[in-house]
């Protein structure tokens, strides 16, 4: 097995670049001081996230291909949540020098395959030595002349709805921690989210007033919309489906579990929402300052979702 | 002293965002799923670099302000080396939870002040917990309708010239390693590069055929131009100024020291280069495959500059 220390930095970068498929928006790919990415709108949506070994993934739970897909997905979902079309990723990779080349190549395959789901490409990156694996992924996107779908447009009278899975990744994480070997559906959901990328354009067409991807948990992310919009969001748990596979803690996973990267948004009350969207709450005037900033079944909800530094 | 673990992720992000000055190209800053950055050219130059504690900086040698400036500078220089104008940075920050808030704030001050030298702004980022400090900086830039200055345009007959310091950071690093307390000029140069950002627009106006920032050392980076352009670059050390402050190893530092982030480029032989540019070589037909891919004083030069994985 070839280790990356034998290839050297430039050898590794060349080898990885050769694996990347072409993408229409990547006008100039890896190999120069900077990449060049199409931004026909004249504005570019840009977001960056770090994934650190042992905190955001574990190499004994997830293979490199899934880690690559997850790292790409969480950034691509952020771009889609702005109502933009992903165009390119930049990938910074910190690796222990003993890492095998094949492991890194599979990681890149995962990044490239997840990009392909949205039409984006990997435009460039950086590889450095470190004591733990860290991925720093930046995603770029194009708005196509439309206004961004921010978190601040929710208005009293709107409904809160989501599209995509909730709680699956969180339930899978609990299983990994307990040493369980199934259900595979949940373990796989933790290894690799499957954001319904079409939800961005769909939400725009449906007249969404605010949109985000659920990365911190439905309560906490709805709280982000409430805070940015200066409104009160009321969630009715009777309207929240809890798939049986999530087990006895299903409702907690659905309300507070992050990392599935579905999409939640607010819509005018008469928006013709198709069955792909589930309405779980309403927007009212006023604000809630306690806890997550949302009201659940009539009471302000305590802290939930994820906060990387607090317990 | 407040530690970041007491503020929590969202508290820290909010506190950092509040310190960032506005920048004209940052249309939507931190706080949503993605930032929105002006890209009037319709294309965006994009580059990303990782800086890892203990490998790219040491907290006992450099304070947070200088680390911030360095992290910004090396990415801004990459954008300038494409002939683009920097517009925005995205900053991913991995921090041990015990890190003091004041330390992180000074790091952000350094990022913001370095950005201000180029007119760019900090548009967004991510903060996560980790066991070592890692900065993942992405820089974006706008070409203003011009073609990018890549590494592949050097032609036989061109001259090789550079603008900016060479060898200062490398000499400073040797001093830190030896435990020396001066000269301060060299220690400071290692803590914080000072790229002559105006060199990008100047090189374009002078008809540069290729341009890059010197991050791996003059020989190695000239080799990158030679390889990308399919030419032979010949450096004449008699034409390479070696400032006395660099000490007895001065020529080695100038030829192989990276991280000062000056700019090197190739120009037509009749380009009216002002004194800010120093001609140190010529471009000829043919290629050199050994070592760094350049010829120094008539002989192919062995490996030099930096390679993060090889010794």
CB B110 within 8 A of CB A60: no
pLDDT given for residue B9 in this prediction: 74
Question: Does B307 score more than 50 pLDDT?
Answer: no
Question: Does B304 score more than 60 pLDDT?
Answer: no
Asked if B92's CB is within 8 angstroms of A129's CB, the reply is: no
pLDDT given for residue B25 in this prediction: 97
pLDDT given for residue B274 in this prediction: 98
Asked if B52's CB is within 8 angstroms of A94's CB, the reply is: yes
The residue with tokens 């548009």 is B123
- In this predicted model, which residue has the larger pLDDT, B2 or B241? B241
Asked if A228's CB is within 8 angstroms of B47's CB, the reply is: no
pLDDT given for residue A157 in this prediction: 98
Asked if A84's CB is within 8 angstroms of B212's CB, the reply is: no
The string of pLDDT tens digits covering residues B134-182 is 999 999 999 999 999 999 999 999 999 999 999 999 999 999 999 999 9
The residue-averaged pLDDT of B191-196 equals: 97
pLDDT band per the 50, 70, 90 thresholds, residue B188: very high
Q: Where are the beta strands (DSSP E) in A110-252?
A: 121-129, 134-142, 159-163, 210-213, 232-235
pLDDT given for residue A13 in this prediction: 80
CB A101 within 8 A of CB A13: no
Q: How far from A126 is each of A129, A145, B17, CA to CA, in Å? A: 10, 31, 26
SS (H, E, C) A170-182: HHHHHHHHHCCCC
Q: Which residues of B are annotated as a binding site for Mg(2+)?
A: 33, 47-49, 78, 126, 213, 216
> Which chain B residue's Cα is nearest to A210?
B32
Touching B: A residues 22-81, CB under 8 Å: 27-28, 31-52, 54-56, 77-79, 81
Domains of chain B: 4-142 (3.30.1330.10), 159-300 (3.90.650.10)
pLDDT given for residue A2 in this prediction: 67
Full strand arrangement of the beta sheet holding A299-300: A210-213, A263-267, A159-163, A278-284, A232-235, A294-296, A299-300
pLDDT given for residue A80 in this prediction: 98
The string of pLDDT tens digits covering residues B72-117 is 999 999 999 999 999 999 999 999 999 999 999 999 999 999 999 9
Q: Chain B contact for A201, CB < 8 A?
A: no
Q: Chain A contact for B123, CB < 8 A?
A: yes
The residue-averaged pLDDT of B205-221 equals: 96
Phi, psi of A87 (to 5 degrees): -115, -40
DSSP run (H or E) holding B296 = strand B294-296
* Number of Cβ pairs < 8 A linking chain A and chain B: 240
CB B144 within 8 A of CB A70: no
pLDDT given for residue A307 in this prediction: 38
> Which chain A residue's Cα is nearest to B10?
A307
pLDDT given for residue B303 in this prediction: 61
pLDDT per residue rounded down to tens, chain A (311 residues) = 567 777 777 778 888 888 888 899 999 999 899 999 999 999 999 999 999 999 999 999 999 999 999 999 999 999 999 999 999 999 999 999 999 999 999 999 999 999 999 999 999 989 999 999 999 999 999 999 999 999 999 999 999 999 999 999 999 999 999 999 999 999 999 999 999 999 999 999 999 999 999 999 999 999 999 999 999 999 999 999 999 999 999 999 999 998 999 999 999 999 999 999 999 999 999 988 877 789 999 988 876 443 333 33
For an interface test with B, give the residue of A31, A33, A142, A211 to mutate (most B CBs within 10 A): A33
pLDDT given for residue B293 in this prediction: 81
């Amino acid at each position: 097995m070839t280790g990356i220390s034998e290839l050297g930095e430039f050898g590794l970068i060349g080898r990885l670049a050769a694996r990347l498929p072409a993408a229409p928006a990547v006008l100039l790919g890896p190999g120069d001081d900077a990449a060049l990415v199409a931004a026909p709108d004249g504005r570019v949506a840009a977001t960056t996230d770090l994934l650190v070994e042992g905190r955001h993934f574990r190499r004994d739970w997830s293979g490199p291909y899934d880690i690559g897909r997850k790292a790409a997905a969480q950034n691509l979902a952020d771009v889609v949540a702005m109502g933009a079309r992903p165009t390119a990723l930049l990938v910074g990779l910190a690796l222990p020098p003993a890492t095998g080349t094949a492991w890194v190549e599979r990681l890149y395959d995962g990044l490239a395959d997840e990009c392909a789901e949205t039409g984006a490409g990997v435009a460039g990156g950086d590889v450095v030595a470190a004591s733990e694996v860290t991925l720093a992924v930046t995603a770029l996107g194009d708005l196509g002349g439309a206004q961004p779908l921010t978190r601040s447009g929710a208005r009293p009278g709107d409904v809160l709805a989501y599209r995509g899975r909730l709680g699956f990744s969180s339930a899978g994480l609990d299983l990994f921690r307990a040493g369980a070997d199934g259900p595979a559906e949940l373990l796989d959901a933790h290894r690799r989210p499957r954001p319904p990328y079409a939800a961005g354009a769909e939400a725009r067409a449906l007249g969404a007033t605010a949109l985000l991807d659920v990365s911190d948990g439905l309560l906490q992310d709805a709280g982000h919309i409430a805070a940015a919009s200066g409104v009160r969001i009321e969630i009715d748990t009777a309207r929240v489906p809890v798939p049986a596979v999530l087990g006895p803690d299903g409702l907690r996973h659905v309300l507070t579990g992050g990392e599935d990267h579905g999409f939640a948004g607010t819509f005018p009350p008469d928006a013709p929402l198709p069955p792909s969207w589930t309405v779980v709450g309403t927007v009212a005037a006023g604000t809630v300052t306690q806890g997550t900033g949302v009201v659940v079944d009539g009471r302000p909800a305590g802290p939930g979702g994820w906060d990387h530094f607090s317990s």
